[in-house]
Structure 1
């Protein structure tokens, strides 16, 4: 056989030899290989000849060469000369890779079969050339043939394909449709009966490489995982739920049952409060606890859709290492600032982490998942504060999912989460602000209570942004409902005072919407702490308290329960206050002579007896005004109604009349009216020097009666002709002044300033006949 092997090699090297002659030589050697052992001296020439035959351009020579190569490998295996196969295979790999790309499918299949024959002897090298060179290359035929070879080797020879899943998934998005179809069929064939771990790996790889939904749905449906498309999910999800791991679903439901009493979800809270009612609670406190939770608590739950509502498929992992690998792949995209290159990846990673949160990772690998949240929290908050509304919304939903799923396990992260959420609530975009509001409520309802959370809410009540203050009323309500059966945690840390101050601040807010929302929060507070609520109500003005009692959240409205405040209009209330003030002024009128006004005289009618008590002598002059000169043409004043006692500044001088008569004979005439005013002594009750400037009054009459009018009718005290005569008798004024001062001027009182001016002498000192 060594001679035949040498002749065969020479024939294939001879370019002048015909193809038929070459095929004849090759067939003769093939027959010897099938029937006899191959000596070691013939192995090398035969492999060299077969390499030339496989690389020939003639398909007849190609077919004969593949056939002979297959028999040779089998013969050497029978002869247990595998080392020759391993050694000589190195020269065959490049030729076989070329034939995997042959236009004829039969040649590609023969090349794949040679790889199959070589795999038992050089498995690593064969897998490298087929699955790491041909499968990831640029030739679509080689890719297609490599995937078929992988499926065949996995099915018939037990090849472990997990490390080649990324390459398979990449082919699902290949530009060639034949490669995509072949990859889809191969993936379904490989994973249909595969373990759950392999399916989880496939699902993760498809999500990471953004496989189009149509292909992903077909694959997931084919392997029994359902589809991620909402329309398909409605029909396939019931089956996939049944086939999914029972432990995952049971653990999730068990976790929700354990935290049911603690967290008190919105939908179940009314019933749970009815069953767990405090025996010492008063009757007014019961209705707010039962009815009021429906305002704050159910709000976040409908806003956060469940997996069945938003079409987000849970993402299950097989081990904690899968979670770590996933986080490791995500982390680089969250570094630095948001840009056009990384924002799309950030959004996809946030959605993928939401799916992971809804999967089995938070329950089966709890500690690993919490560490992943801590690692990615900074990046999640960057996405939360993004100006792209869709990204911010996805981050808000992710935080809601984390809060609902983990509950108190994220207490250490609540502080930084609340700071960023409050910043989001003050955003100008309404959608972003509403997302922040819903997320804060979900966080408050699911995490453990701490005074820091209440302080954040208290600061929000005082925020300058009206929207934040309005949101804060709902957060307060959620906190009150959350801690209704754990009141000691609030009372022992000073939280109750913060809640009370916040509600008081909200009830007095400048914005009517905030005030209205604060009334609803007040009645929720009233249901838990009625005594403290009554203290708040007592500090309100009547109008605010009336609106508070008329609020629809009041469990005991005024028409049914406790009486409301009297229905007084503001106008009537003000008029009653004015009447009280006027009555008080009238009671203090005797001590205020300077406050005499016509309005007081009209309000108080004098008694008839006040006029009968006048004992003024008819012959005596009544006042200095009676003898004062009058301007020509001036009509006499009409008699006025009697004024109060404070109308006359000399009303408190009872001795003025006696002094007037006693000093008339003893006093000497003075040449100047100013001297007369400077001599009298100061009386015990002297009118203020700052009294209003008015006409001088008659002191004698003021001493006789307190109810006399402020101004006298001149016609009653002196005839009009005498007054006119007195005004013209300017030359006799000195004589008149000598006879009048004692009767005109009180001995112990300075006269008011003269109103006559420089032209007329002082009206109070114009001379008139002695009595």
Structure 2
């Protein structure tokens, strides 16, 4: 029976009883996605039917469906809040059983569900733990172990204020003698965590219990280590003043933070919030704990370089082993700090060791045990403090996982991640980490992440030099804009503070951002500046050109009103408005911005924003605005292209699309190419004196620049018209025939203007009509590259079109230009716009045809990105274009170089390719070995022997994979193709592998040989049969 995706909760309920496991899996996944979207309604006939339908899924044998059921319950808890309390007693016994599941992911989801029950106040933490005390004697050891972890998580989250732990001491002591080692270890760790909260009162209480002497000695030792490490919380340190009961060890949390006096320095101390009592009382980690823990490590004795390399190798193995005992992993993390203290970073092999260690850290930051995460964050902070910028690639690789720790419910984990992140920002100046921070700041749904990253932005602007921020100044501006308007008050406060620090680095961009904000937000920013004190780098907004800020706001308002299409008949200035356009000398326009604004002008601009016609589309910045804000008319080094007045289209009322980005492919370039010094038109009537002053100046300057350009490009200039005719072929390349293009309808600007009267030259679209009549190709390669680097997809599209034409004309790039293009192409591989990516592939093809011999070092990156793209969901046409590019690679690059690059991709531990990506990689290698690579090219040298051995081993392991039949079959074909390419080399390679993999490869090769031989015999037999039948 076909599966139809439901659109409401009742639809899900009706299909939950189906027995087909495939339908259940699809239905469960869709249900989780549906509940996760807060916009979807959860109203239904009876929500109890949904709960009753999910319970069989949760207790079933299919672990994926059970995991989805737990996720669905978790989403329901978040959506319903305290109203879910009616179903808590129904699901709790089944969740308890899932704590003992053999799969880590299922146990993790069960723990998350319990956490959400407490967080959403469906049940109090104490009540929930009391209901789960049966877990102490549960027959499943995993349940006993997970319940101890639940106690630790609840204690770290809510502290001793909300929990009474005395009743759990005796059952935990009994688990010290549990037959399962992991349960015994968890019981010891649980007592240590309780000791951090209650202090020596726990020692007294344990002595009253019948704890074995050996166990008691071990606990005493661990308690002493915890105290000496400074890990005791304030509740433990102050518990001595209360009575003998453990429950009395409760300390009230402060209600507010201590504020600095106004006369204090405006620079905030590092990690100011981490030392606050409210965080520490909940189990958080402070900067002081980090500093005291850095050198609290075992001492190592190293006699030679080989000893140091052996220590690093062993440490890396232990840290990256998920099955290793957690205490050994903690000790290994401490050993990393010990090695750095004896200058392991000076070793010649340290760079490679650091790269291998980053892979292990990526796994350990996903660990569920808080003690391991805490030690990993301390080690990471110390590494950043010691290694500085040498940590840049390491940090880029693990930064996302570090940010994810911030939203963890356990305070010890979230605070550790926060402090470690601040150490990284303070010590490691890596520009590539800025996009990761800004992306999370703008897109994260967690208010904790957004608030913390806003605070990190303050530190970023305080600590980093301007040069390290220049490349990402636009991203930082956008992040500040989003942060200032964030829904979370803390995020807004930190973003406002960050704005003033940002202004120290980029005053022009900050002033432009300030001008685009509404007056209420500007006042709030001013108050924030006053609250952080006066600083020479933070000049008052009174020093900013307020008239320019008002003009920026007016332009944004005009653009918004135009999009709203308030009046369909006012999109052009026909009739009386056409007679109000005034003429002014171009020289006078260019000279105006040099004059400072008069006080009278300032007072008028503060009183309010003047209004022009309702659908005025002239949002282009004037020359005066550019001069006041320091925005040059050339391309910036950041790769962004400033807007020009002639680059904004004028939509007609009949146009189906009024977006200001239409038809601007070369609008921003024409000012540079042709200039604005053409003779002005003398037949313009005078301006209407009743027009508002501010709107008048903005619109007048825009129209004059456009008309000047139109006159410069008018058909009267026969030489230029002839040049346009020669370059007119470009229109065939750049013309877009889709439904969204301007060429798709008679109602579009281009075609509608063709039906206009020839003498109607005073409308806003008059100059646009003449400008669009011919579009020249861009000849300057530097300009083309700057277009490719633009943040606007339409300008990137134009840059790619022109670069393709440039290369197809036989022109070559210099080594510097080629390197710049390759750097841009690395980003374009992940371009989200399908049209830009299609053009990008065409450009890559031309680049291969022109510069194949110069791209040998870039081939690894090219193949990696193409295989990753093939692993996504693509249209058939795009899939074919990518394979067309791969076909060119087959033909234009040496086969042995391609083979080495593919082998490197197969064993690259820094990547986690999906099934489609792996299958595409093996398919490419199979075709390479079958069609393009000869036996002489598949020769293994001593320096590549290890690479080939690991790659062949990886392919054989894939051939044994049972998860995907297609991937398994492709791996088998690949092994056979490599053997057929060079049997002797393949045999020598297989001899270096373990025996079991040798046998697997031989069986695959022999099967292929039999199949090939059988096919040849069958063909020969059929030929003989046909001959005999003719006799």
Question: Is the radius of gyration larger for structure 1 or structure 2?
Answer: 1
| Larger relative contact order, structure 1 or 2 (CA cutoff 8 Å, min sep 6) | 1
Quick check: TM above 0.5? no
TM-score of the superposed pair, with normalisation by structure 2: 0.25
